[in-house]
Amino acid sequence: MHKDIIKFIRDIYKTEEFIPLHEPRFRGNEKKYINECIDSTFVSSVGKFVDQFEASVSEFTGAKYAIATVNGTAALHIGLLLADVQSNDEVITQPLTFVATANAISYCNAHSIFVDVDMDTMGLSPEKLSDFLKLNTELINGNCVNKTTKRIIKAVVPMHTFGLPTRIDEIVDICNKHHINVVEDAAESLGSYHKNQHTGTFGLVGTLSFNGNKTITTGGGGMLITNDEALAKKAKYITTTAKVPHQWDYNHDLIAYNYRLPNLNAALGCAQMESLPEFLKSKQKLAKIYSNFFSKNSSIDFIEPTVNSISNFWLNAIKLESLEARNEFLKVTNENGVMTRPIWKLMNSLPMFASAQCGNLDNASALENRIVNLPSSVI
């Protein structure tokens, strides 16, 4: 079986060489725009490409405002600050996520709480979230307070796993009832939609990532998106070291962050955004090829988006029968030059988050043992 799968993937990418998990594609104006940026000498955080990149992401996602940052983690850090997450507050997120999600919470000196995911979306479960809040919290003076720790739960951070949208509308409704802000980690889901609305635009703010392995890349880079004008202005201000505008003087009135995306990276992003529709069509085609292939294999399930969602299929994922089957699949594919990867280790299993409060994590634990990512580069 493994040999058949390896041959199948090699046939897709038409190569006998090493096949990476997800590599970038540069098929448009990348070199032209980068050279133009260099010629302008505006290669740092000020320049026309930063403005153009923000405008193109805003238009594509439907968000009113977009603020470019040096990476997705920085965008999430700022998003949490905009949600008024302060030292000793608590933030609920999912245990099945990339470590940056939990790290950003810690950057605010806040505490993570891990609530289980749904088996189909692999993202934060509305049902599990509602159950946790009903059992463990109470409203005191307009704040959602953890009965056990007596801390305020300021935000919930759902993450759209591998580009598969969570049931984000349900999550937002639950959080509104409990007076909690939603900060969407949409780092992996540029081009994904839930009920015809782009991910990252349901909550107070959303964040995107343009790392080298994402659907489009700026090398590094991230974006904060929001429909709130005041929050957008604040985000731009505190990501630019809180420098008070002046023709020559240096005045800063807050401890802030040097998080703005350089113009050089944004030039790359502008070209990548021009290619994004083509990339998304290619990734839909690749997902369909995988889906058809694995539908004939009773022991492996290809992960599909839910009925009301459209996935960008950033990373295609399969679910195997057991931990042993997963490990054997990873071993054979990687030894034969086809890069596959397991899903992340649960955040609560990492030493820095081992003491975090958790709900029942049965679904996340089952997925941790069975999920594998397949090569997903644009074909």
Mean pLDDT, range 9-30, rounded to an integer:
97
Whole-Å CA distances, 86 to 111, 118, 240, 367: 10, 29, 20, 32
Task: Note the pLDDT of residue 322.
Answer: 97
Task: Note the pLDDT of residue 209.
Answer: 98
Band (pLDDT 50/70/90 cuts) for residue 372 is very high
Mean pLDDT, range 145-157, rounded to an integer:
98
* HSE of 23, CA atoms in CB hemisphere, 13 A: 10
Under DSSP, is residue 193 helix (H, G, I), strand (E, B) or coil? strand
Mean per-residue pLDDT of the chain: 97
- 30-274 to CATH, choices 3.40.190.10, 1.20.1250.20, 3.40.640.10, 3.40.50.300: 3.40.640.10
Band (pLDDT 50/70/90 cuts) for residue 72 is very high
String of b and e for 96-114 (b: at least 16 CB within 10 Å)? Answer: bbbebbbbbbebbebbbbb
Band (pLDDT 50/70/90 cuts) for residue 253 is very high
Distance CA 269, CA 261 (A): 10
Mean pLDDT, range 285-299, rounded to an integer:
94
Band (pLDDT 50/70/90 cuts) for residue 1 is confident
Task: Say what percent of the chain tops pLDDT 70.
Answer: 100
Domain boundaries, the chain: 30-274
Give per-residue pLDDT as tens, 305-355.
999 999 999 999 999 999 999 999 999 999 999 999 999 999 999 999 999
Distance CA 195, CA 177 (A): 21
Band (pLDDT 50/70/90 cuts) for residue 233 is very high
Instruction: Give CA torsion, residues 95, 100, 102, 104, to 10 deg.
Output: -160
At residue 373, what is the residue type? N
Retrieve residue 238's tokens: 């505190």
Task: Note the pLDDT of residue 130.
Answer: 98
Task: Note the pLDDT of residue 332.
Answer: 97
Cβ of 353: how many Cβ atoms within 10 Å? 20
Is it the case that residue 298 has pLDDT exceeding 90? Answer: no
Under DSSP, is residue 267 helix (H, G, I), strand (E, B) or coil? helix
Distance CA 246, CA 4 (A): 64
Band (pLDDT 50/70/90 cuts) for residue 143 is very high
Band (pLDDT 50/70/90 cuts) for residue 297 is confident
Give per-residue pLDDT as tens, 174-212.
999 999 999 999 999 999 999 999 999 999 999 999 999
